Amino acid sequence: MVCPNPGFYQVRDKEVRKDLANIEGNNVPHERKLVGMQVKYFSNIGEPAMKVKVFTTGQVAKLCKVAPRTVSKWFDAGRLKGYRIPGSQDRRIPREYLIKFLKEHGMPLGDLEDGTQAKVLIVAQDQILIDNLERELPPERSFKVCVAASGFDAGIQAENFQPDCVIVDVSIGITESAQICQNLKRNSGFSDVILIVLLPDGASLPATFDRSNINETFKKPFDPALLAERLRTLIGTKKELV
């Protein structure tokens, strides 16, 4: 077995780092095992990892690429929080505790990541506006941001990025911004996407917009921090943001 680089994921807990270094396996370096980890399904539950609410030690072991006994060791030592099934020794790890453990020890989230991030597509051309929004929507607060400058670009980005929310600045053009909103809602794959429209000060939503498609409107200038909090609330009803 090739010895892994213990600092590759900046694992901070000495015991956890030692356990990861002792992974059973072949000659594939540990860092390659974790970087390439794309655990789509657990055989005994048949659900994507991002949708699982409570994990068994075996499922956590598959996700972390370690032996089940290693997960049990983390659990028993109090490093990995969870609970035991009454009347048995079976351990269960709630999703939020597993995510916290992985983040604390610098380990990749794999398929869990999509369910913990608020993905926001900003359609705008005002660079100051974009910079202000990106500052208030950092990865550290569970946001992932993508920017598009036109309706055409927004369509491509939406397909690739699969956003939870799309923020459309009307200043790119009333007709174009209305068409973006309409196209998104016509696509069944984006029917649940949150739509937020940014309007000039004193303006109302133009008649070309279908009001039933719009979740929120903000009039410029506005406090980006307030918009960020509103996004966490709206997207938090669908995802467990951490």
Please tell me the distance from the alpha carbon of residue 193 to that of residue 205, in angstroms, as a whole number: 19
Please tell me the distance from the alpha carbon of residue 135 to that of residue 126, in angstroms, as a whole number: 14
What pLDDT was estimated at residue 100? 85
The residue length of the chain stands at: 242
Considering the entire predicted model, what is its pTM?
0.61
Scan for tokens 């956003």, then name that residue: 163
In a domain, 189, yes or no: yes
| Residue 27 and residue 90 in one domain | yes
Please identify, among 65, 82, 112, the residue that sits at the C-terminal boundary of a domain: 112
Q: Is 150 helix (H, G, I), strand (E, B) or coil?
A: coil
What pLDDT was estimated at residue 5? 38
Task: List, in order, residues 6 or more apart from 233 with CB less than 8 Å away.
Answer: none
In a domain, 101, yes or no: yes
Please tell me the distance from the alpha carbon of residue 136 to that of residue 231, in angstroms, as a whole number: 11
What is the CB neighbour count within 10 angstroms for residue 157?
A: 19
In a domain, 8, yes or no: no
| Residue 91 and residue 195 in one domain | no
| Residue 179 and residue 74 in one domain | no
| Residue 153 and residue 183 in one domain | yes
The torsion angles phi and psi of 88, rounded to 5 degrees, stand at -145, 175
Please identify, among 112, 141, 170, the residue that sits at the C-terminal boundary of a domain: 112
Range of the domain at 224: 117-236
Total of domains in the chain: 2
Weakly modelled stretches of the chain, pLDDT under 50: 1-12, 23-46
| Residue 92 and residue 159 in one domain | no
| Residue 34 and residue 99 in one domain | yes
Q: How many CA atoms lie within 13 A of 130 on its CB side?
A: 14
The two three-digit tokens of residue 32, written as one number? 């390659």
In a domain, 134, yes or no: yes
Tell which residue, 192, 235, 199, 189, has the closest CA to residue 219.
199
In a domain, 4, yes or no: no
In a domain, 242, yes or no: no
Q: Is 240 helix (H, G, I), strand (E, B) or coil?
A: coil
Residues 108-130 as b/e (b if ≥16 CB within 10 A, e otherwise) read ebbbbebbbbbbbbbbbeeeebb
* H/E element, 129: helix 127-136
The torsion angles phi and psi of 106, rounded to 5 degrees, stand at 65, 30
Please tell me the distance from the alpha carbon of residue 214 to that of residue 193, in angstroms, as a whole number: 10
In a domain, 6, yes or no: no
What pLDDT was estimated at residue 38? 32
Please identify, among 90, 112, 134, the residue that sits at the C-terminal boundary of a domain: 112
What pLDDT was estimated at residue 20? 52
In a domain, 9, yes or no: no
What pLDDT was estimated at residue 140? 83
| Residue 101 and residue 167 in one domain | no
CATH of the domain at 211: 3.40.50.2300
What pLDDT was estimated at residue 119? 92
Give the burial class of 24: count Cβ atoms within 10 A of its Cβ; 0-12 exposed, 13-18 middle, 19 or more buried. exposed
